Amino acid sequence: MDSFASRIDAIKAAHLYRKLRTLSTPQGREVVIDGQRVLLFSSNSYLGLNTNGHICREAIRAVEEFGVGSGGSRLVTGNMTPHMRLEAAVAEFKGSEAALAFTSGYTANVGVISSLCHKDTVIFSDALNHASIIDGCRLARGLTAVYAHNDMDDLLQRVRHLRPRQGFIVTDSVFSMDGDIARLPDLASIARTYGLTLVVDDAHATGVLGATGRGSLEHFGLSHDDVPVVTGTLSKAVPSEGGFVCGSSSLCDLIRNTARSFIFTTAPSPSTAATAAAGLEYIAAHPELVARLQGNVAYFVKKLGRIGMDVQGQSPIIPIMVGDEEKAAQAADALLALGVFAPCIRYPTVPKGMARLRLTVMAAHTREDLDYAAICLEKALAAV
């Protein structure tokens, strides 16, 4: 047996083997996955906009006008009018002076963190931050002080101990596997007191948090002075691909000139950029969609509470803790057999022994969908 196969065997023995499933329908409340029609409870398409007629027409129009592929990096020949429209739309939606678009949320975080931070800076990073933040910290090659999840006392202790001349606090706003929300007002206050720069990843908050879906700053009533660097993705509530950073013009100018994951990669295709811009404009014009999502989350959490599950509903991400990796995989299979798709999340995405089902609520779900998912969840968990 070659070493590739023996490594795979070890992954299987630890119940950590992952395989790809295939969807043969668009993202929506109901999909066909590996030939089976199921309710989808794992999509990050929180507002259910992937088949929205207006946004799809904008995508087609962009292909007709600009063709496919951007042909180069933004700084060489790849910068096209849809990219400029997208950056204006991000800045408008997020209420910032400027914005800069990337090919993904991952490359945005890696590029922003590694270009702002260097070997003489200290990064204070939440223990549950997304992998793209962790990788950005690694590339920055300075000191990264990881503080306990959402624990302000632990953060303060580390800040007072290290007293950096230049430092950053970096956090997800909505934590991707736990669904809880960072204590941004406290983080902003600590950053202000100790002269640190707060960097917030709004990947799961954009289109989701705040009365009009503008994200975590709207949710908490904070400004871009409190949070000078906001990153995010255009692949979740916004139904496209790509990432962004927003803040001051000088911030965006600096990152445009220094972020390797911006400079050394081909620009997003013009239709992807136009789709994301249309998505942002659509969400801004339809705050009732955001309200519907938030209403669905509240309904689902209440429903789960009634059947004895202790879940918090700070965001559409609802983790159902199982612990054991094998049991979590079995619970996900049982749930799928009942017609609800929500995969189990295991190490290394979450720590060992903290495997879980991760359900996500969409604005597109009906109340019947939510009732059915709750019943199936109860049955699936009872079966393992």
Contact residues for ligand PLP, defined by CB under 6 A: 104-106, 109, 130, 132, 172, 176, 201, 203-204, 233, 235, 243
Vertex 369: Cα angle to 368 and 375 (nearest 5): 90
Report d(CA 347, CA 324) in Å as an integer: 10
Contact (Cβ atoms closer than 8 angstroms) between residue 295 and residue 303: no
In the complex with ligand PLP, the residue whose CB is nearer, 235 or 265, is 235
Shortest Å distance, C-beta 130 to ligand PLP: 4
Grouping H, G, I as helix, E, B as strand and the rest as coil, residue 241 is coil
Nearest distance, CB of residue 155 and ligand PLP, angstroms = 19
> Would you say 157 or 349 has its CB closer to ligand PLP?
349
DSSP 280-319: HHHHHH-HHHHHHHHHHHHHHHHHHHHTT-----SSSEEE
Name which of 42 and 233 has its Cβ closer to ligand PLP: 233
> Cβ closer to ligand PLP: 45 or 235?
235
Cα torsion 73, 235, 129, 265 to 10°: value is: -10
Q: Are 255 and 230 in contact (CB under 8 A)?
A: no
CB of 111 to ligand PLP, least distance (A): 12
Instruction: Scan for tokens 């096209």, then name that residue.
Output: 80
CB 87 within 8 A of CB 232: no
Of 172 and 325, nearer to ligand PLP (C-beta) is 172
Q: How far is the CB of 105 from ligand PLP (least distance, A)?
A: 2
Instruction: Say if CB 8 and CB 16 are below 8 A apart.
Output: no
Cα separations in angstroms, 350 against 127, 135, 201, 246: 11, 16, 18, 28
Nearest to 355 by CA among 337, 377, 329, 378: 329
Q: How far is the CB of 348 from ligand PLP (least distance, A)?
A: 14
Nearer to ligand PLP, 299 or 347 (CB): 347
Name the minimum Å distance from CB 206 to ligand PLP: 10
Query: At closest approach, how far in Å is the CB of 100 from ligand PLP?
Result: 14
Contact predicate 209/218, CB 8 Å: yes
Nearer to ligand PLP, 204 or 346 (CB): 204
Active site residues: 176, 204, 236
Residue 200 β-bridge partners: 171, 230
Q: In this structure, how many other beta carbons lie within 10 angstroms of the beta carbon of residue 137?
A: 25
Whether residue 229 contacts residue 245, with contact meaning beta carbons closer than 8 Å, is answered with: yes
- Residue at shortest CB range from ligand PLP: 105
CA 219 to chain centre: 16
